[in-house]
Structures are given as C-alpha cells and as structure tokens.
A and B are shown apart, each in its own frame.
Chain A
Amino acid sequence: MNYSDKVVDHYENPRNVGTLDQASPDVGTGLVGAPACGDVMRLQIQVDGAGVIREARFKTFGCGSAIASSSLVTEWVKGRTVEDALRIRNTDVARELALPPVKIHCSVLAEDAIRAAVADWKKKRGLPPAP
C-alpha cells in the first residue's frame, strides 16, 4: 500500500497512545470495530467541567491507516468541546491523511470512535445522547 507521508508519520510516531482510567467519571471510552474485521479502535477522552476535552488516548488493532486515523483524531479532539468533537467527520480524516478509497472505512471507524467515547462520557454524566 502506498501511503501518504502523513499516514506514515502518524503510523511511525503515533500520538497519544495509551490508556486513561476507564472507571473515572470524567473519562469516556469508545471501543469500535471487531477483531474479525481486522480493526478495533479504543478511543478515550477526559473531559473537564466546561465540557472541553483535555486529554485523549488511543489503542488500535488495525492496519497502518487505522492506526494513523486514530492517532490523528486524538490530536484533533484535544482542546475541543465534546459538541465540537462530534462535528469531526470521517471525510475530514480521510482528506487530511489522503486515504486511498479502500481505506476509507478506517476513517469511518475513527468517527465512530469519537461518537462512542462521547456517548460513554455523556452516559456517565447523565446527559442525553447526541441526536
């Protein structure tokens, strides 16, 4: 696979790899994908009282573009409000990383991971789920 320099950079120097305390009330965890499909992404966000994402961590089982997509969204969500993070679209990820058509599903998974992490945080906070 001929990857863009950005994919290779995120793949070789992944940002924000790791784990936040899943039990903490200010941490939302999203686990999306399936091993049988070849990609599993875990995205965690730590949200402050103002609804701003202060920390983000990921771990991903998947190909180079799945790892790069997760790494990229951890950078993008940091400093944004959760509502703003929900506005990140898979097409933004695909465009930024210049993903080939066969790898678009990796960017879809990254968007799903953001939604799942925010949904988990909202549930912990007793907030209504995103529309």
Chain B
Amino acid sequence: METPEAMKVPIYMDNAATTPVDPRVLEAMLPYFTTEFGNAASKSHVFGWRAEEAVEAARAEVAALIGATAREMVFTSGATESNNLALKGAAQFLAPRGKHLVTCQTEHKAVLDSMHALERQGFEVTYLPVARDGRLDPGDVARALRPDTTLVSVMHANNEVGVLHPVEEIGRITRERGVLFHTDAVQSAGKVPFDVEKVGADLVSLSAHKLYGPKGVGALYVRRKPRARLIAQMDGGGHERGHRSGTLNVPGIVGMGKACAIAQAELPAESARLLALRERLRAGIERRVERATVNGSLTHRLPGNLNVSFACVEGEALMLAMKDVAVSSGSACTSASLEPSYVLRALGVPDELAHASLRFGLGRFNTEEEVDHVVELLAQKVQKLRDMSPLWDMVKAGIDPSTVQWADNA
C-alpha cells in the first residue's frame, strides 16, 4: 500500500511508551544547558540562585497540574524512581506500625518489583485481581485492609490497556482507615483531570517523558497535610527536603515544568481531540477487520489508548508487517520472556488473544490522516497474515481453535 505523499513515515503511535519533547518544552530547556548552567544547590552566587529559581517555578507548574502545592513535589529521575521511593520509603517508615501492603496485579513493573523487594524485606503484599474490564473493585481494597496494612498502591491509568481505576473511591477508603494511598499517575497526568484532593492520594508518581517532556526526570508528590513520611532511598547531600539526594537535573526539571503547564492549559481540548481520534481508529478497525476485540473498558479509559486483539494473527508478526507504524504488542515475542502480557492475562484475555494484541497510543502529534492510513494498513496486513494462518483456516471451517487438543500445550 502506498503511503500518501504528505504523510511522514514512520508514523508514531506508541505514545504510552514515550512521547517526543514538545518544541516549546525544548525551547524552555535550552538555556539551562549552557548559560544558565548553575547548580540549584549553590547558595553563594547568582548562577545557583537562577537555577534554583527555575527549579522552583517548575515545581509550582508540576504541582498545579495535579492540584498540589509546590512544597509537596519531589523531583526524581523518573517514575520508576518515584515508585521505588514512594513504596519502599513509606513502607519502611511505617514498618513499626505494620508490614502489610496492598496493590493490584496489573500495576507497572516498577510497582510490582518494588513490592517483591519489600516482600524479601519481610513485608506481606496482597495483589488484588481486576475484573474483565480491567478495573479494580474498591470493595476488594476495603476487604483486603487489615489492622497492620500501612499502604495501598493502585495506578490511576494502566499503561497497556489505558483503563482508569476508581481511585477516588479507593482514596476515600484508605483515608477512612488511616492507610496511605499511593497512585502511579504516569499515564494519566496531563491526559485526564487528576487532583490529589479529589483523589485523596498521599503519594503520586509522575514522569515527564509521557507528557511531551524530556526523559530522565520525574516527580513524586508527597502529601503534607496529613503528612506522608518517607525514608529516603538515595543518601547524600539532602536535596529535595532530604527525600532525594543528588544534584538537580535543572534542564530536565525546567522541561517537566513547561510540559506540565502546556498539558494543563491544553487538557480539555486535547483530551477531546484524542478521544475523537481514538474513536475514529476504533470505528475504522471495527468496519474493516472482523474478529478484532478491544481489551479493557471503553468507558473508563484514557482517551488516547486502544488495545485490540486480532484473532489468529500474532502481534509481533503484525507489527513487522506494519513496519512504518510504531505501536507495541502484548505478544510474548516482543519481550525476552515467552509469556504474553501479564496485564492482559489478569483481564482474563486468553493467551492466544494476548499474543494477538496491539496497543495503539495516540498523542499530541497524531492526525486523522495517520489514523485512516493505519486502519487501511491494518485491514490489509491482518488479511495477509490470516491468509497464512492455520488458525484462521480453522475458524473459517467453523472450528474453534481453543477447543482443539494441542500437542505441546506447555
């Protein structure tokens, strides 16, 4: 299939993985690499003062995006560090009170692996399941709480299926029971409204590069009233009110501030535009490709996310066929392990459909023309691969492959 002339290829539709730096963000950052290069911790000269001023302005911009105050924001190297600091820091601080933690099976690896590390330190962790639509039942959170539970961590939006968890309900429950609530808002911040007061969150992880800021910088919201307390995981000069030592990444922080300010200002219009693009993609797939199923709730979902399984077609093969389109897949073949996506498994998606899944992440720079092109390409390539799929032959002959006894169903 010919690519329309005006369209730039490759087309990037993997904005849940990362986003390009917005040119306005880059422009704001540039002086802080060269002329404004000071160390924000240098209190003795103007270079340091100017750097500090820029950091504090950015801190206010990041805080404003989630309805927090600047003094509650701790800058980190990214959301993986934010999640590690929030979970290990809070759990360790509260260990004298209790050693039981609650999270969800579909969390990002940065949360799950931090929890596993805490288990090795003697903590007990409950991993709650999700419903078929990918959402956690707040009632399950309430029932999982014990007298020794100190912390609940549930992400706002899932990174694979884009499903939004009922964080406000969960926040009410944790507040009532005097348990800290951490939420990983990396995928949702700047995409849908998120307010720490409405949610009742005590700790919130953010990342700059998911919202058109630079890589290598993130933030952790740490509530002051009532105060959430942490044990620092990085020791040194006591930067960031002792929460995170290390010279501040001034250009990165400036970029994150600018990215958050843009995201906040443009959120209502951009969120509606992305939803319209997403629905255009979904309707196009529905019209042009049979046996394509959306994974996860469509009502409680990020506007830019679509996760679809194309029956009888392996995801990695499909991505290879669509080589001018950047998306990702829940197929095992895209990872080092031979297991398909644990998130899709937790939703009860059968393994053969998890292998057949693609995740589309629409973003600020995608257009209707790109979406239309991707739909046409999908229709063509899915058909090509189904024509060489023995499973498709079975489906066409009226045999359900899931009822066949497969020899090496290891």
Contact = CB atoms under 8 A, between A and B. Distances in A.
Interface of A: 1, 3, 8, 11, 14, 17, 19, 31-42, 58-64, 66-67, 102-103, 105, 112
A64 B334 CA distance: 11
A34 B388 contact: no
A62 B317 contact: yes
Interface in B351-393: 351-352, 355, 387-393
A56 to B, nearest CB: 14
Contacts of B333: 1, 38, 62-63, 103
B401 interface: yes
Contact of B390 (A3, A40, A112): A40
Contact of A11 (B313, B320, B389): B320
A41 B408 CA distance: 12
12 contacts: A1-B320, A14-B388, A33-B408, A40-B391, A40-B406, A42-B390, A59-B388, A63-B316, A63-B317, A66-B314, A105-B338, A112-B408
B355 A38 contact: yes
A64 B317 contact: yes
A32 B338 CA distance: 17
A20 to B, nearest CB: 13
B393 A36 contact: no
Given A14-B388, A60-B388, A63-B333, A37 B351 contact: yes
Contacts of A34: 406-410
B390 A1 contact: no
A3 B321 CA distance: 13
B340 interface: yes
Interface residues of chain A: helix, strand, loop or mixed (majority): mixed
Q: What class of interface size applies to chain B in its complex with A?
A: 20 to 34
Given A36-B351, A38-B331, A105-B338, A64 B389 contact: no
Contacts of B35: none
Contacts of A36: 350-352, 355, 406, 409
Contacts of B334: 1
A63 B355 CA distance: 9
B121 to A, nearest CB: 32
B312 interface: yes
Given A17-B387, A35-B401, A36-B351, A62 B314 contact: yes
Contact of B314 (A39, A58, A103): A39
A64 B390 contact: no
Nearest to B404: A35
Interface in B300-347: 312-314, 316-317, 320, 331-334, 336, 338, 340
B320 A64 contact: yes
Nearest to B333: A63
Nearest to A105: B338
A130 B391 CA distance: 28
A63 B331 contact: yes
Given A34-B407, A37-B338, A37-B410, A64 B351 contact: no
Nearest to B391: A61
Contact of B355 (A32, A35, A58, A105): A35
A36 B312 CA distance: 11
Nearest to B351: A36
Contacts of A63: 314, 316-317, 320, 331, 333
A51 to B, nearest CB: 25
